[in-house]
């Protein structure tokens, strides 16, 4: 059995990679993908904790499935936005999207 | 009846007060151009005063009558306003209303052609009203107010012909000179109020009689009040305004000289005589000034050629008698002379007015032999002259005799002798006027040809006054009536006890000597007056120049003028130029320094605050990039920071 801490380290790494990608990538598609990485890190945690601490139930797995479903819906919305932005700005580089600038 | 009349005494004051605006504003539309109001009003006042006088003589009145209401309140002090009527007030009321009424009737004829007739009557009413208020007032503050009103009206009436520069000057002179005396009055009021806390005559009398007020204060107050009386009653050295007051209309002179203005000073001294009585020093001062006034004015009265001016000096002289009489004999003696003098002096002035009206000149050398042309004026004027000279049994004899007798009884020999000599001088100059105006030959054909007896409005007052001038003295003295009205004869232990008869014989002898010498000089010319004039030239000139009193005051005025100029120079050059301007310059320098500090130190500090805020704003704004990734970074960093704080304490 893999110890829980290993899985936590793995998911943390996955999350940090996601954060790093979300902050540092220019391409908005990549940013969306990095956000998916962060989602997955959370899902890994859900599944692992459920599997190791309460093997009898599958609550964590079910929750992970729900999360994936919701994330998928979000990605749909996000990609739709990306499409709209692309049509408006003619590119996909996030540094151009500074309409919120004070 | 008596009580009712006494309660109505304020009305005697109120009627002429109301007559003043009534005549002034409605006069033009009324019969006699407003004179009717004045005369009818004064007639009512005279009737009331006569009734009061008769009842006071019959001793059916409860005197003194006092009534007042609160007027001014300050702190714990209260000054009431009200009336205080005693025998003295009643005598004065009678004299004032009688003379005023006769003067107003007389003026109907005398002022007939005057364009400012209405205004003249309005001021006559106000003048009389202020004097009436003065004699019935119950406290010194109200007396002072009326006193000033009298002064104001005298200014209006003396300067009535204000187109004439002399008249305008004379009005100013009278006003300012009497103001000088009023200063004394005012100071006296301050002193007496600070010593006693009351202005009320009755309260003051009680306090003085009880000895609550120290002698030094009483003497000071008495002398200060006497200075006030000096101004109004034309005593040496403040008499200079009175001869010039002749510039006013002649009936006004009669009013001023007999009843209103100059009587005010005598009345004041009589009203507060209890203060004078308490201080021998004050009495001696009053007697001295009175006697000096009497003789100096009599001397000055020997020389003028203006008939009214002779009468003016005679008034001053007689006022001196009254003051001396008050001081040596008390109110009874002094006020008695005031009363008789009012009658014959009004008579003389109105007679002089009648003459002037006829010949249109004041110069006695341009008159003469008018007795045939103006028999009534001559007869009444002669009665006035004899009364003033003190010929038995006319009224002047009794009152003047009383004064000289009292002076001997008081043992005040200098005053007694001075007054006796003065009566000789009085007889001389009055006889001189009588002879030069009515007897002898006419020296000016033109004026003689036009001379005529005056109309009834002018002669009737003369006749009435001459009746009083003849009988008042004898009646009052022989019937012992006057002491019922104004009791208060001073009793002296020491002093020579001359009998009344001795004094009477002596004064009569002196009077006849004076009259005889005048007759000898101006009528029978045993000693020609030209020769006398040559011999006495320097004396004559000195007297004509009023012994330099005018020059003395003029000198003082010029001196104070110079002083004022010097003070003004000092003020401008030293205070203004040096101190004030120096402070001004310092202030400007200080202001510049402040402005520099403001510009260079305070303003940059304020700007710095603004700049700091701008800088902080720019700094903060630089974080708001609008890039979602940056915000995400902040979130990460923030969470990291919080976690660091949480786990690494």
Q: Express each pLDDT in B451-500 by its tens digit.
A: 778 788 888 889 999 998 888 888 887 777 777 777 777 776 555 556 77
On the 0-12 / 13-18 / 19+ scale of CB atoms within 10 A, B598 is exposed
Whole-angstrom distance, CA of residue B143 vs CA of residue B88:
14
How many Å apart are CA B93 and CA B87, to the nearest integer?
Answer: 10
Question: Average pLDDT in the B202-221 region?
Answer: 89
Peptide bond just before B393 cis, omega within 30 deg = yes
Contacts with A94 from chain B: Cβ below 8 Å? 627-629
Segment B295-313, tens digit of pLDDT: 999 988 888 888 898 999 9
Q: What pLDDT shows up at residue B498?
A: 63
Helix (H) or strand (E) holding A14: helix A4-24
The DSSP bridge partners found for residue B67 are: B83
B308 CB contacts (<8 Å, ≥6 apart)? B246, B250, B253, B349, B352, B356, B362
The answer, yes or no, to whether ipTM is higher than 0.90 is: no
Q: What tokens were used for B332?
A: 């009874």
Token pair for residue B427? 């007889």
Smallest Cα–Cα separation from B232: which of B158, B180, B301, B285? B180
Measured distance between the N- and C-terminal CA atoms of chain A, rounded to whole angstroms: 52
Rounded to whole angstroms, the Cα distance separating B205 from B138 reads 12
Query: In whole angstroms, how large is the CA radius of gyration of chain B?
Result: 37
- β B77-85/B65-74 pair status: antiparallel
DSSP per-residue letters across A25-38: -SBHHHHHHHHHHH
Structure tokens at B92: 């004065």
Name the closest residue on chain B to residue A95, using Cα atoms. Answer: B627
Contact between A102 and B632 using a beta-carbon 8 Å cutoff: no
On whether any CB of chain A is under 8 Å from the CB of B633, the answer is yes
Residue B110 half-sphere exposure, CB side, CA atoms within 13 Å? Answer: 29
* Helix residue ranges per DSSP H, B76-164: 87-110, 117-136, 140-158
Mutate to test the interface with B, among A18, A20, A23 (most CBs of B within 10 A): A23
- Mean confidence (pLDDT) of chain B: 87
Closest-CA residue of B relative to A32 is: B629
pLDDT reported for residue B587: 94
**DSSP bridge partners of B131:** none
Cross-chain residue pair A100–B636, CB shorter than 8 Å: no
Tell me: the pLDDT tens digits for A6-50?
999 999 999 999 999 998 888 888 999 999 999 999 999 999 999
Report CB contact under 8 Å: B628, A97: yes
Residue B113: predicted pLDDT: 82
- The C-alpha of B630 sits at a distance from chain A's nearest C-alpha, in angstroms, of 7
B536: number of Cβ within 10 Å: 15
The Cα B268–Cα B182 span in angstroms is 12
Task: Look up residue B124 and give its two tokens.
Answer: 């006559």
Q: What is the pLDDT of residues B251-273, one digit of tens each?
A: 888 888 887 888 999 999 999 99
Size of chain A in residues: 102
pLDDT digits (tens, 9 = 90+) for B604-640: 999 999 999 999 999 988 888 888 888 889 999 999 9
pLDDT confidence of residue B24: 86
**Phi and psi angles of residue B304, each rounded to the nearest 5 degrees, phi first:** -65, 155
pLDDT of residue A19: 92
B25 versus B544: which is more confidently predicted? B25
How far is it, in rounded angstroms, from Cα B187 to Cα B225? 8
Total residue length of chain B = 649
Selection from B386, B380, B364 nearest residue B454 by Cα: B380
The phi, psi pair for B71, rounded to 5°, reads -115, -60
Q: CA dist B394 to B351, B398, B463, B468, B529, Å?
A: 17, 7, 15, 9, 29
CA of A23: which chain B residue's CA is closest?
Answer: B629
| CA–CA separation, B145 and B134 (whole Å) | 8
The Cα B180–Cα B230 span in angstroms is: 9
| Model pTM score | 0.75
């Amino acid at each position: 059995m893999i110890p829980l801490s290993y899985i936590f380290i793995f998911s943390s790494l996955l999350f940090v990679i996601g954060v790093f990608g979300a902050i540092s990538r220019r391409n908005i598609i990549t940013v969306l993908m990095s956000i998916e990485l962060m989602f997955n890190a959370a899902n890994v945690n859900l599944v692992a904790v459920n599997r190791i601490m309460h093997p009898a139930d599958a609550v964590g797995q079910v929750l992970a499935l729900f999360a994936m479903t919701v994330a998928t819906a979000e990605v749909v919305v996000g990609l739709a936005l990306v499409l709209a932005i692309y049509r408006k700005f003619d590119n996909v580089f996030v540094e151009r999207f500074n309409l919120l600038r004070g | 009846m008596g009580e009712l009349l006494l309660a109505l005494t304020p009305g005697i004051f109120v009627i002429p007060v109301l007559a003043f605006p009534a005549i002034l504003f409605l006069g033009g539309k009324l019969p006699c151009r407003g004179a009717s109001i004045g005369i009818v009003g004064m007639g009512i006042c005279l009737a009331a005063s006569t009734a009061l006088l008769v009842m006071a003589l019959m001793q059916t009145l409860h005197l003194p009558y006092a009534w007042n209401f609160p007027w001014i309140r300050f702190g714990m002090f209260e000054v009431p306003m009200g009336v205080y009527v005693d025998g003295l007030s009643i005598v004065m009321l009678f004299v004032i209303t009688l003379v005023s009424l006769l003067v107003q009737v007389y003026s109907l004829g005398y002022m007939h052609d005057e364009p400012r007739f209405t205004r003249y009557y309005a001021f006559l009413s106000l003048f009389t009203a202020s004097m009436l208020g003065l004699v019935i007032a119950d406290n010194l503050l109200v007396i002072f107010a009326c006193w000033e009103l009298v002064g104001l009206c005298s200014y209006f009436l003396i300067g009535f012909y204000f187109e004439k520069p002399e008249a305008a000057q004379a009005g100013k002179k009278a006003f300012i000179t009497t103001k000088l005396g009023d200063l004394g009055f005012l100071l006296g009021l301050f002193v007496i109020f600070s010593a006693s806390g009351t202005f009320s005559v009755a309260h003051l009398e009680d306090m003085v009689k009880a000895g609550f007020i120290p002698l030094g204060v009483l003497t000071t107050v008495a002398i200060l009040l006497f200075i006030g009386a000096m101004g109004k009653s034309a005593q040496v050295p403040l008499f200079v305004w009175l001869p010039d007051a002749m510039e006013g209309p002649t009936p006004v002179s009669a009013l001023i000289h007999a009843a209103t203005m100059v009587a005010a000073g005598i009345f004041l001294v009589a009203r507060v005589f209890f203060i004078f009585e308490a201080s021998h020093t004050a009495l001696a001062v009053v007697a001295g000034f009175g006697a000096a006034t009497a003789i100096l004015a009599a001397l000055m009265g020997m020389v003028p050629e203006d008939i009214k001016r002779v009468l003016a000096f005679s008034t001053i002289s007689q006022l001196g008698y009254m003051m001396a009489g008050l001081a040596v004999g008390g109110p009874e003696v002094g006020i008695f002379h005031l009363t008789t003098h009012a009658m014959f002096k009004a008579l003389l002035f109105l007679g002089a007015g009648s003459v002037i009206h006829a010949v249109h000149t004041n110069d006695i050398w341009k008159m003469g032999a008018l007795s045939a042309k103006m028999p009534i004026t001559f007869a009444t004027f002669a009665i006035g002259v004899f009364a003033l000279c003190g010929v038995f049994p006319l009224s002047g004899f009794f009152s003047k005799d009383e004064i000289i007798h009292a002076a001997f009884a008081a043992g005040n020999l200098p005053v007694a002798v001075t007054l006796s000599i003065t009566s000789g001088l009085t007889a001389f100059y009055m006889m001189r006027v009588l002879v030069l105006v009515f007897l002898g030959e006419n020296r000016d054909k033109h004026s003689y040809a036009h001379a005529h007896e005056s109309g009834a409005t002018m002669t009737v007052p003369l006749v009435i006054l001459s009746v009083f001038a003849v009988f008042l003295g004898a009646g009052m003295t022989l019937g012992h009536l006057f002491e019922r009205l104004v009791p208060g004869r001073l009793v002296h232990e020491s002093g020579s006890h001359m009998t009344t008869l001795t004094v009477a014989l002596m004064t009569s002898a002196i009077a006849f000597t004076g009259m005889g010498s005048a007759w000898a000089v101006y009528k029978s010319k045993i000693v020609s007056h030209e020769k006398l004039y040559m011999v006495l030239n320097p004396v004559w000139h000195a007297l004509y120049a009023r012994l330099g009193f005018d020059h003395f005051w003029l000198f003082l005025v010029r001196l104070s003028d110079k002083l004022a100029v010097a003070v003004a120079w000092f003020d401008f050059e030293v205070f203004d130029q040096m101190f004030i301007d120096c402070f001004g310059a310092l202030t400007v320098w200080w202001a510049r320094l402040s402005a520099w500090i403001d510009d260079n130190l305070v303003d940059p500090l304020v700007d710095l605050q603004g700049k700091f805020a701008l800088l902080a704003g720019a700094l903060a704004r630089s974080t708001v990039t609008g890039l979602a990734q940056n915000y995400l970074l902040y979130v990460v960093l923030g969470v990291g920071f919080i976690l660091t704080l949480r786990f690494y304490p």
